[in-house]
C-alpha cells in the first residue's frame, strides 16, 4: 500500500478511536476490540464491527458515531459500517489500554482466565484487592455483572468473561 493509503488507514483508525461505547464512555471501540476489519478500496471504505453481546442496545449509536467520525474525514470514498457476528467478539479482545481505562472508570475488566467450573474472579478496580464476590451476574448492561469488594467495601461492576471456548 502506498503512503497515501497508510495515511488514510491511520486517519480512519484515529477516527475510530474517538468512538466510545455509549454504555462505557471510558473506552473506545478500538480498545474494546470491536473493530474487526477496515477495508479501504478505491470506491468505498468498509468497516466491520463485532458487537460485544447480541442484542446490545448501543449498536445503533455506535454505528452512527462511526459514520459521523468518518464524515469528519471528508473522504472521497463512500463508507459502509456494518456489524458482523463471525468471528464472535470475546473479552480477550480488550486491549491493555482498554483494560486500564475500564479500571479507571471503576469497571473491572473481564478475567483473563475462567475456571473449568465456570467460576471467575476479578480484582477490585478501586483498591486492587482479590477479595471480591459476585453479587449478581446480571448487571446494568448485558456485558457487565455486579460485584462487591470485601476489602474496601465498595460495590463495582465487571465485564463478563466471554470466550469462544465456552
Same domain as 138, residue 70: no
Domain around 75: 3-83
**Residue 136 and residue 156: Cα distance in Å, rounded?**
11
pLDDT in tens, the chain (166 residues): 344 558 888 999 999 999 999 989 999 999 999 999 999 998 999 999 999 988 888 999 999 999 999 999 988 889 999 999 999 999 999 999 999 999 999 999 999 888 888 889 999 999 999 999 999 999 998 889 999 999 999 999 999 998 765 4
Half-sphere exposure of 89 (CA within 13 A, CB side): 27
Same domain as 109, residue 77: no
Distance of CA 39 to the CA centre of its chain: 20
Look at residue 85 in the predicted model and tell me its pLDDT. Answer: 94
In a domain, 106, yes or no: yes
Same domain as 110, residue 61: no
Residue whose C-alpha cell is 453479587: 135
User: By the 8 A CB rule, do 16 and 30 touch?
Assistant: yes
Same domain as 99, residue 78: no
Distance of CA 71 to the CA centre of its chain: 22
Same domain as 149, residue 113: yes
Task: For residue 20, give Cα distances in angstroms to 27, 35, 133, 166.
Answer: 6, 12, 28, 27
Domain count, the chain: 2
Look at residue 18 in the predicted model and tell me its pLDDT. Answer: 97
**Residue 23 and residue 58: Cα distance in Å, rounded?**
7
Amino acid at each position: 500500500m502506498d503512503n497515501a493509503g497508510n495515511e488514510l488507514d491511520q486517519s480512519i483508525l484515529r477516527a475510530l478511536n474517538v468512538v466510545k461505547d455509549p454504555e462505557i464512555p471510558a473506552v473506545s471501540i478500538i480498545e474494546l476490540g470491536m473493530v474487526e476489519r477496515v477495508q479501504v478500496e478505491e470506491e468505498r471504505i468498509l468497516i466491520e464491527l463485532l458487537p460485544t453481546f447480541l442484542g446490545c442496545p448501543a449498536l445503533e449509536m455506535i454505528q452512527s458515531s462511526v459514520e459521523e467520525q468518518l464524515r469528519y474525514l471528508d473522504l472521497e470514498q463512500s463508507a459502509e459500517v456494518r456489524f458482523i457476528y463471525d468471528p464472535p467478539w470475546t473479552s480477550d479482545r480488550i486491549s491493555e489500554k482498554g483494560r486500564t481505562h475500564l479500571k479507571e472508570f471503576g469497571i473491572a475488566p473481564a478475567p483473563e482466565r475462567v475456571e473449568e467450573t465456570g467460576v471467575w474472579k476479578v480484582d477490585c478496580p478501586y483498591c486492587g484487592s482479590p477479595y471480591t464476590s459476585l453479587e449478581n451476574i446480571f448487571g446494568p448492561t448485558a456485558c457487565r455483572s455486579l460485584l462487591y469488594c470485601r476489602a474496601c467495601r465498595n460495590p463495582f461492576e465487571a465485564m463478563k468473561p466471554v470466550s469462544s471456548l465456552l
